[in-house]
Structure formats: structure tokens, C-alpha cells
Amino acid sequence: MRSRAIEQSVASGMTRLACILGVLAMLAPVNTPGQALDLIQPYQRYADARARNDFVTAVDYGRQALEIAEARYGENSSEVVDSIERLAEVLALAGELAQAAVNYRRALAIRERELGSGHPDLIPILEALTDIASQQQNFAEAESLLNRILGIERAIYGDQHDNVLATLNRLRNLYVLQDRLDDVARIDTDIEAAMLVERGLDFEGPDVDRHRYGIDDGHATVRVFYGTNRARTGEVKAARFYGRERGDVELGYLDVSIPETHNYGELESQSRWSIYTYVLGDEAKKKRYVLLLKIEPLAEENFYATLHDHIQSSPSDDVFIFVHGYSASFEDAARRVAQLAYDLDFDGTPMMYSWPSQGTTAAYTVDEAAVQIGGRKMSRFIEDVVARSGADRIHLIAHSMGNRALIEALETFIARRKSAEPEKIFDQIVFTAPDVDRDYFVEVIENISRFAERVTLYASDNDLALQWSKIWHGAPRAGMAGETIVTSPGLDTIDMSAVETDMLGHSYFAASQGAIHDLFRLFWRGEPPRERCGMGESSNKQASFWLFNADNCKGTDLLEASVLLKRFGQGARARVKARIDALSERASESAKQEWLQILDRLDSLLAADDS
């Protein structure tokens, strides 16, 4: 059972926040609406130094940004907490652990006044303090902090929740460091008992293992086939095998681990500096993080033969090709496409094309040049997948600046076709948050739409990255909703402004359970918007489009029920009912409630199918 966790990597989260601020600062002109230049400049310099791993310089700019924020909002206001945490992160990375702890504790005190002492939003700060205490070998302090985290999680979720088990594992590793074997054994007993109770102990009813990617030793493995025009770095490690430089197109496959405790929409990431990360062995990391494990480059003939065999041996002959956006490394793209495939319970073969993005927020213009060349090279890749893979249905999905590469590739592919007659070569084409000139998108989309069964545009009025791109380019972007929202014959435009996502509002397509469910229905059944969850017709003065009501479609229960319906059809209800009936009396109340919620969602889906 996968439910939304609150446990996350503080360092990773703070890094993302710094990168976000770097993007905003880089794209902002002198007359930036709503932001003063004196605050944006240190944010930009902080992000640039952070991206270079120049942590000492990042500390200086982090302090400058904090001083300005304090002067503007007050020293103890909630608005300065993010600045305090950013400073604390780079202080820790720079080795100034004592000062980092001081700042994290200050942030904690402000959050406690605002939220109370038992709020789950305190946990990321408590975990950062735990990491620092562990590095300082202050194990008593680390143990105290972990026990506080455990208390918050148990009060909210009960003893059997995934987050509780993860924290128990972390406490166990702390005891291992101290050779406290009796405490290790006690934790092992607690974990084993909790897992048995959560699973219901003695269930012997119908199989309800509903996911294509089975769990083995605490994690699943997703295989992704790729094409890339990134050059190799010469390094053997998978995460650094391909770099930022341009090269010839290479082909191959890669493997990514997804932890059993994975939460829909999350990219569980290991901290770069947490001592806990270093204590864990490779096998233990697979049980906790989404990791790029392996890259296997293949010669062209071998690639298409291997791809063909994989497609034929998969539950379906479908493929989807994902194209990443700006500021993404090869590793970033691999982890994201694997997460999507897993969350979508995709029965076919996931693929990706990676163009040579610099992987840093400070290289927007460099990425703009690279993406166009990447698109031309990708056109041949798409052409060969169509002709040589043996796939039945081919879906295409791009994000952000990656939409430029996809459009370039499709236009080139269509222009090379011998027949001028349109043919439904692709099943679903999905443009998510496209950082593409609006007028250019309108000009090309009608022709592209003739070659797909359905074309979907996800747009948002809360996408700050695209708002700043609009300022940078002096023209609206195709992924923006509001007055400039794009509509066109053959295009389903979905306003996703109501979807909750990261603070930049740019990755909603893969980081929101509601958006993932919509993609699930598209790839599974290719349904029109009116038949999908949460869709309502809307319009402004210029056009009609679809408005997505995220509240109707969020929650893991809907995704779980939909996956069960896909896998078992009408028989899904009987399996879930038998699972509920067979739960042990010792099964946790939360486990029973989750299955009952799934059953309720399943009944609604079955009723909709019958209507």
C-alpha cells in the first residue's frame, strides 16, 4: 500500500528551492514585478554558487539574502524561514555544522510557533538537525530527534505507516553505528511486527498484487530504453555516464530502482551530505530512494532488436517516449521517466530522449541552443522507433523546454514522410507546461494533431517558471493558462491551475496524484476530457477549454482503484472485497480504512463504466 509520505530529504528539498530562486532571478529583467532587485540578486548568486558546489560563496550570498528578507518581513516572521533553511543547508555543505544547526533550530522555533510542536511540516527540519548531530557524532542528540520524529508520525499515522517504518530503520542504523546490538534487535522486532500487522498476517484470499513492476527485496526495477545526443563523460558510474556536452546519438537501456515505500508523484532522493546516506549500503539505498542503477549502451541494430524483444515480452505492445525539460541531467530524466512508468503502472515499455541540457539553472540560454539541435536529432530516433520497434501504440510526452525538441522532431519527421496524407501514427501526444512561444505553438499544432489519435496540452496560470520565461522572451508561452490559453482544432487544452505541486508550479504533470491519474487514463483508454475525472468545460473571452478540478481526483485511493480496474476488470471488486474480509483482526485501522476507500473509488469507477 502506497500512501503519501511526509518524510523527505531536506538537503534535496532546499537545493530545489535554491534552483527555483535561481531561475526566477536569472529570468527577471530590471523592472521585476512583485520582487525587488536587491533581494533577487543574492538569490541568483546563491543559486549559481550552489550549482558550482562553491558552498563558501553560497553562504555569503545566503546571509545577504537573509538579511534583506529580515529587514523586509521581520526577523521572526514565517516569510524568512525559507531563507534561513537555505542558509543552513549551505552552511552544512561548507562544513560549518554548528552554525547550520543554529539556523535550523531558529527555523524550527518559528515553525513551532506557527504550526505547533506536533505538526508534520516540522519533520524536514528535525531530520536536517538529525543529520548534523550524526555527523558531529552527537548520537544522543540524534536519537532524541529521531524519537521526536517518530512520535509525530505515530500520532498522525499510527504504528504501521511507511513513514514510521522508515524512521525506525533510521533509528536502527544509528544504533548500528554505536554497536548497540540489543537496541538493534528491539527495533528489528518492532519493524517485523508492524509489517506483519499492516499486511494482515494470514491473508489467503485472491491475489491483489496490482502493479506491473513487482517488488523484490524492498524495491522494484524499471527498465527504460533511451536515445541521447549527450556525449559520454568517460566515467563508469551510471549517474555521470553522460554529461552536458553534445555528441552523436547513442542508444541503450537503463535500470532505475523504485523503493517499496515509494509515494505517487515523489522522486525520493538521497541527500548529498547526510551521514545516514553514507551509512546505508547499496541494497539499503534501493529500498529508500529512486536510483539510476545501470546504463547499457547498445549498437543500433542490437538496440532495436533488444527493444523489439522487450516490447513483445511486455504485457502490452505500447511505448511512451518522454522528453525532459530545462536544467535536467541525464540522471534526472532517467529517474523521472521511471517514476512516471511506475506510477502509471505502464504495461508497455518506457522510453526517453535526453538532449544535452546543462543541468543547472544558470544555463538557460545554453539549453535553448541545445534543445533545437536535440530536436533535429530526435526526429530520426522517433522515426526508427515507429518503423523498427514493433510497438502497437506510441505515446509522446514532453515537459517544459523539452516541448521545443519534440515539436522540432515531429515537424522534421512529418516533412520527411513520403505521403502527404495524415495518418494516426501516434496514439497520445501530451505537451506539459510547454516553454514554447505561444504563437509558434498555435501555428504548428494543427498539423501535428493530424498524426495522433489525441493531442493534449496541460497549461497552468500558476506556473512561475513560464511567467518568468514570458518576461524573458517578451511573449506568452504555450503552457500558460489565463487570457492567453491556447486552443486549436484537434487539441484538448486542460487548465491545470488548481493542481498543487512544487513551489514553482512547473512539474505538476508528474508530481501531482491527480495529474498522474489523468495521464493514466489517457495512456490506458485514450478517453476524451469529458469522460475523465475532474474535467469541467470552461471558457474565457477568447476560447473554450477544460478546467481540471484537482480536489475530485487526488489521493492514492483513486490511482490504486484505477490500476486494479485496468488489471482485473469487473473482477477487481471481488478481489478487493475478499482482501478486506480476510484482513486479520490485528491489521491496523489505517490499513482497513485505505482498502475501504479503494473499494469506494472502485465502485464509482465501475458505475461510470456501466452508465
What's residue 275's pLDDT?
A: 46
For 568-606, write each residue's pLDDT tens digit.
888 889 888 888 887 766 566 777 788 899 999 999 999
Domain boundaries along the sequence of the chain: 10-199, 299-554, 557-610
Residue 22 confidence class, pLDDT cut points 50, 70, 90? very low
Quickly list DSSP for 53-88. Answer: T-HHHHHHHHHHHHHHHHHHH-TTSGGGHHHHHHHH
What's residue 504's pLDDT?
A: 47
Q: Which of 204-218, 507-521, 555-569 has the lowest mean pLDDT?
A: 204-218
**Identity of the amino acid at 215:** I
What's residue 40's pLDDT?
A: 67
pLDDT (average), residues 44-63 = 85
Q: pTM above 0.75? A: no
pLDDT (average), residues 3-12 = 37
What's residue 24's pLDDT?
A: 40
Candidates 3.40.50.720, 3.40.50.1820, 3.30.565.10, 3.40.50.700; CATH matching 299-554? 3.40.50.1820
Residue 298, H or E segment: strand 291-298
Write down the architecture of domain 10-199 according to CATH: Alpha Horseshoe (1.25)
pLDDT (average), residues 1-17 = 39
In 3-state terms the chain splits into helix, strand, coil percentages (rounded to 5) of 55, 15, 30
pLDDT at residue 120 is higher than 80: yes
Burial of residue 390 (CB within 10 Å: 0-12, 13-18, 19+) is: middle
The radius of gyration of the chain's CA atoms, rounded to the nearest angstrom, is 24
For cell 558552498, name the residue.
Answer: 55
What's residue 308's pLDDT?
A: 98
SS3 231: strand
pLDDT at residue 16 is higher than 60: no
Adjacency order of strands within the sheet including 544-548: 291-298, 242-259, 219-232, 349-354, 319-323, 394-399, 426-432, 452-459, 492-495, 544-548, 535-539
pLDDT at residue 495 is higher than 90: yes
For 278-288, write each residue's pLDDT tens digit.
456 688 788 88
Which of 64-68, 146-150, 264-268 reaches the highest mean pLDDT?
146-150
Contact 375, 412 (CB under 8 A): yes
pLDDT (average), residues 19-45 = 49
Other beta carbons less than 10 A from residue 165's beta carbon: 19
Q: Which of 56-70, 141-155, 263-277 has the lowest mean pLDDT?
A: 263-277
Q: Which of 83-87, 188-192, 412-416, 525-529 has the lowest mean pLDDT?
A: 188-192
What's residue 229's pLDDT?
A: 97
pLDDT at residue 485 is higher than 70: yes
Alpha carbon separation from 404 to 11, 49, 225, 370, 432 (Å, rounded): 31, 29, 21, 10, 11
What's residue 361's pLDDT?
A: 72
Q: Which of 12-16, 150-154, 508-512 has the lowest mean pLDDT?
A: 12-16
For 450-470, write each residue's pLDDT tens digit.
999 999 999 999 888 898 899
Same fold, 10-199 and 299-554: no
Between residues 92 and 543, the one the model is more confident about: 92
